[in-house]
Structure 1
Amino acid sequence: MGERVELAVPGLDATLGVIRHGHFGRPVLVFPSEAGRAEDFENNGMLEVVGDLVDAGRVTFFCVDSLDRYTWSAYDQPTEERARRHRIYQAWLEQAVLPHLAYTLGGWRNDIITFGVSLGAYHAAHFTLQRADVAPLSISLSGSYDPTAWRGFGEIGDNTYFVNPMAYVANAEGDHLAWLRSRANLLLVVGEGPFEWEPTKSYPSTLAFADVLRRKGIPHQLDVWGHDSAHDWPWWRKQFAHHLPRFV
């Protein structure tokens, strides 16, 4: 418990880490904030505020490193290239992290929760929308969900479209939309306080994303906190401790 495991990234001469906290219970795949590491969850007090759930065997956290410095935080690269690189991260999650979870848990689980704050909120929501078959619920705090708004440049193509929930959810239809309606459930939490408007634009982005989900009939909940609720760890700890118990 708490030991870091390195897993190879497909197509790159690199590894990313996964840290497990807990011994039993519903698995939660935890994404860090922008350019963060697996250790950030515990180091920022998130584990402590839900420690009773871990001790009771109700939840197990699998915290992962980000690849953001190579993908979305590589601001010298055009948006389309950053999106292409993000798909490498998605491949690592599917080809390395999911099998690791299955092995560690002693069998496959199809009720994973994804969780993240700030840029990690995007990762959590996007992964659930892509893999609702294994991770049907996401909890996203203070997220921004349109990568084309992230200091981008250059022409936008298929790479960006298929990693942009604001785009591909808005255009979902037919059997795929029916599948999302039957499998996915997203909890979007955001505050109205410091840094939720600028520079993160988390508040308007979260409301816009919730509206897209509403129009498409995809199950979701929107929880807006007040003007004192900031884009920062003290508030994310409160929001996480408030919401997680009802899902595990």
Structure 2
Amino acid sequence: MTPVSGERVQLQVPGTGESLGVIRHGHFGRPVLVFPSEAGRAEDFANNGMVAAVQDLVDAGRVSFFCVDSLDGWTWSANEQPTEERARRHQLYNRWLEEAVLPYIEHELGGRLPIITTGVSMGAYHAVHFALTHAHLVSLGIGMSGNYDVTTWHGWGEQGEATYFANPMHYVAGMDGDHLHWIQQAASVLLVVGEGPFEWEPTRSLPSTRQFAAVLERKGIPHELDVWGHDSAHDWPWWQKQLAHHLPRFC
């Protein structure tokens, strides 16, 4: 039975007895996969006014949000673990998205449509990283107030292949050849950040967003950089405004 809009559905994490949740808002329209902020839950997007900020798009059937739980508490926020181990654990989250969430979205919509990903703070990293590594399915990644260098997240220990391929700041800089050409044709990224409170410290969102935009520019990957003013803080009221400003032109 199709769940009611706003109802939590639990989807099993591959190879485990655990599950994570997905909540859909909307009855039709462009699918938007929403990642929560650090260690957040699927409920956070609506509870912090983000759905209400674009309620007209939802009511008009222009967008369906699919909000997911994070696994950050076991992966990137597990600061007692070295960065490489956290990156390896993150691969399980990607498997859940690929093997459980994406098929669920396709089933709910009755077919496959190009997906938009979005998120705020650490969710911005997830949204942009997933878009760049799944450009065959995701047409646009929207990151708001993100930090795109995982080695700056209380990183320690020797870093290897898992960290490299989970770190957009590094693997995008290393792209070349046919793969880069394909990403140039298939991917698109929108980076939004403010210059106000907490966008510089402790999040490093402002410098990281600018640095990552410069990497995308050097690699010729389609992107937009939208820097808001000194009153624009690392907080939900501003992310509501940023979503309402940008999302209508994509749905």
Q: Structure 1-normalised TM-score?
A: 0.99
2:9 to 5, 11, 14: 5
1:46-84 Cα shifts (integer Å, max 9, x gaps): 000100001001000000000000000000000000000
- What is the TM-score of this pair, normalised by structure 2? 0.98
Deviations 1:157-182 (A, max 9, x none): 00100100011100101110011000
The aligned counterpart of 1:180 is: 183
Are 1:208 and 2:211 counterparts? yes
Corresponding residue for residue 168 of structure 1: 171
- For 1:90, which of 94, 100, 104 is the aligned residue? 94
Q: Equivalent residue of 1:116, what SS?
A: strand
Which runs of structure 1 show a deviation greater than 3 angstroms over 4 or more consecutive aligned residues?
Answer: none
Whole-Å separation in 2 of the counterparts to 1:192 and 1:124: 21
State yes or no: 1:222 paired with 2:222: no
Structure 1 match to 2:155: 152
Q: How many residues align?
A: 247
| Residue matched to 1:121 | 124
Q: Deviations over 1:3-56 (max 9, x none)?
A: 111001113321000000001110000000000000000000000010000100
Q: Which one-letter code corresponds to 2:171 in the other structure?
A: Y
Distance in 1 of aligned mates of 2:51 and 2:106: 22
Amino acid in structure 1 at the alignment position of 2:102: L
User: How far off its partner does 1:115 sit?
Assistant: 0.4
Equivalent residue number for residue 246 of structure 2: 243
State how far apart, in whole Å, the 1-side matches of 2:205 and 2:158 are. 24
Distance 1:173 1:205 in 2: 22
Amino acid at match of 1:126: H
Among candidates 90, 102, 105, match of residue 106 of structure 2: 102
What percent identity do the matched residue pairs reach? 70
CA RMSD in angstroms comes to 0.6
Deviation at residue 136 of structure 1 after TM alignment: 1.5
- 5+ residue gaps, structure 2, are none
